[in-house]
Chain A
Amino acid sequence: MIKLILLLAIFGLMMCNDSSKSVNWDDMTELIIYKTQEEKFDELSADEMAKIEFVKVNLAEAKQILQKAQLSNGKMYLWKGQFWAKASFANGETSLIRISRYGGFFYNDSNKSTYSFQDSAESSRWQSMISKTLGTGEIIR
């Protein structure tokens, strides 16, 4: 009986942990990509970050694509450079996001989780959106 309770408790904790990693992208109010190659960007102060140029991603498109992002569940992807992004949400929270320069995966610093697009069409849409935004988006600073 005790074992069963323990198992249930562990299962519950796992579920709880997993749900904390799901992000409601529909609540996202803004997604921006910073025009920086600063490796330690996450260590900058808010004031310093505010001075970095950025481009805004089309919010509707981003929400639509991000719905298809899946938690990688421990799957390892090797990084070869990254872009820094920040997602803002309706509740006022923000998440720093590291977007891989290749492949359809990104890392959410807030919940320390990697997400990927397993479907090649969605992955391509995601990469296109990032590349297009960086190439032609209005630069704000």
Chain B
Amino acid sequence: MFLGACTQSTDWLTQATDEAQIKQSAQNWFDQNAQNQSKNRRNALANVSRKPDWHLAKQYLHRGQPLLELPLAYEGKNLIGVLENDPQSRGLTKLLLRQNADRSFTPIIMRIYASGEYLKNPNNRLSNNSFGLKDPKFSGEVYFYDWNEEFLGVNHYKNGKIVKSGRASQGKVSCITTCQIQYSPNGGGGGADDGQEFSGGDAYITVCNQTCYPSGVEPIYNYDPYCPYNNCGGSSGGGSDNGGGDNGEGDSNNPPVSSGVDENTILIKGISENGVIQDIRAYTKCFTHDANSIYKITINIDQPIAGSRAVIADSDGNTGSAMIKERATVGHTFLTFEQIKKDGTRIIRSMGFYPIGSVGVSPKNPSSPGGLVNDEEHKFDASLSLNMPTSTDFYRVLNTFSSYHIYNYKEYDLYTDNCTSACLTALNENGIKLPVTPGSFILGLGSNPGNLGEDIKSLREIKGYNYNTPNYSYIFSVNPSGGVAPKNRGFCN
């Protein structure tokens, strides 16, 4: 019953009357107001001028108010899917303008990203997807941003229905670097400034872009950018409140139950019930050597205090004598391995080296049997993503890190062989040299998340070697503000 309520309702939007008049009002308002509001942008899109295509504007009524939807082009930077008429586009970017009661308009940027699975179908109707109407087969995500490119919320779709939603939570601003694959026939068409082509002249381009949003996305029931708190009245036509909030089909006192579990997570093999990776081969077997894939390794750092070199702190950020010892954290460092195949499918595995004894370690008892643990969806405060030049280079790091698995009986030691040193060893032994500031856990010395998180922020180049090249400069990106590691994805028999 509640799942049914997730379906995008068509009577939520109806055709607006007086179209020409409203469009003219919107354009006048936009020219006088919105263009000037965009100076506070602080992310990667800060210097990119944006131009709505008024000729392709469509109009609806949204909750009783006129709403215009029009393609938004980013000039000077060929972002993914900004061109609505590009049939090979990975997604679409649109500007939404809803008229308020005082005749002003509220601009919202909407980005529709289709999943690789959806794009596999050559007859997909990506360009038919709009704010209110989704292709019944559409799978992917729809992100909403304000006119300053600040993240507002997201809806995840599967077969045209919303399956999960989130909105920006109150908090610090975080940034993540996202890379998308764009299909580009005959090697052209994409032309992304900061993209890189696959070897062998393949017609796929990966485009990386840094997106900033507040840390933590608060899950909600269907995100509507014009009703972010799900507390608006229903549409004027008596249509259902798609937001599913207080006034809609959903009832905040009886929260809806989602289908929940991501099937990929269940099917990923090799993890025991307590999260310890018992069979490292099974856990990583879905990765393959493939000249047409992109390989990435990300070192994720969960610092005791975000943005600080503190080596130990309590969860309130207190250090020294003010620290509540029972809640003292040393943070955590872990790796995410990712293979992006030519068809857009992704294999993702995150794991970290942990003490796996019956209880925890402490400065007085720093050692414990160690092992690798599944670290999907573990939060981090900073990360460094490395583009691995070949699958061989990727596998070398993967194999070295895999040697920390439980049945290799490596001892975890807070001072000498901890989660951070395990990650650094896996990278260093394979030609990726990261500068490391050792710290002190009260008594001893050791690499640690607090310092590493700050060290990577000042990196300008990573020199080392790889399988083919004795002197190699790695292509990398730093996310200085954190986020949450992705869920593990991709399974195989």
Contact = CB atoms under 8 A, between A and B. Distances in A.
Interface of A: 35-40, 48, 50-53, 72, 74-82, 98, 100-105, 107, 112-114, 116-120, 122-124, 127-128, 130-132, 135-141
B195 interface: no
A80 B261 contact: no
Contacts of B302: 80-81
A68 to B, nearest CB: 11
3 closest cross-chain pairs (CB), A and B: A77-B360, A139-B260, A127-B274
Interface stretch (B10-18, B321-329, B340-348, B469-477): B321-329
16 contacts: A37-B484, A38-B216, A48-B218, A51-B220, A76-B328, A77-B362, A80-B330, A98-B327, A102-B354, A116-B360, A120-B357, A124-B358, A128-B273, A132-B273, A138-B260, A140-B258
Interface in B342-373: 354-364, 373
B360 A37 contact: no
Interface in B218-247: 218-221
Given A36-B216, A81-B378, A131-B274, A117 B363 contact: no
B262 to A, nearest CB: 9
A51 B222 CA distance: 12
B209 interface: no
A79 B332 CA distance: 9
A99 B330 CA distance: 15
A78 B219 contact: no
A113 B363 CA distance: 19
Contacts of B220: 51, 141
A123 B169 CA distance: 34
Contacts of A136: 261, 266
B419 interface: yes
Contacts of B364: 76
Interface of B: 169, 171, 216, 218-221, 252, 255-258, 260-261, 265-266, 272-275, 302, 312, 315, 325-332, 354-364, 373, 377-379, 414, 419, 484
A50 B169 contact: no
A52 B265 CA distance: 20
A53 B256 CA distance: 10
A80 B449 CA distance: 10
Contacts of B332: 80-81, 101
A81 B219 CA distance: 20
Contacts of B379: 37, 39, 81
B216 A78 contact: no
A53 B274 CA distance: 21
A79 B357 contact: no
B362 A75 contact: yes
A120 to B, nearest CB: 4
Contact of A135 (B171, B265, B328, B331): B265
A114 B325 CA distance: 10
Nearest to B272: A128
A60 B22 CA distance: 61
Instruction: Give the interface centre of A77, A117, A119 by most chain B CB atoms within 10 Å.
Output: A77
A51 B326 contact: no
A122 B219 CA distance: 33
A102 B356 contact: yes
A136 B331 CA distance: 26
Contact of A102 (B219, B221, B265, B355): B355
A107 B219 contact: no
Contact of B359 (A35, A38, A123): A123
Contacts of B273: 127-128, 131-132
Q: Which of B171, B275, B357 has the most chain A CB atoms inside 10 A of its CB?
A: B275
B301 to A, nearest CB: 12
B312 A78 contact: yes
A116 B218 CA distance: 30
A141 B360 contact: no
Nearest to A133: B273
A132 B379 CA distance: 19
A124 B266 contact: no
Nearest to A77: B360
A58 to B, nearest CB: 13
Contact of A76 (B216, B325, B354): B325
A73 B95 CA distance: 58
A78 B329 contact: yes
A74 B377 CA distance: 30
B266 A128 contact: no
B361 A78 contact: yes
B359 A116 contact: yes
Contact of A37 (B255, B256, B327, B378): B378
A134 B329 CA distance: 22
B219 A141 contact: yes
A50 B252 contact: yes
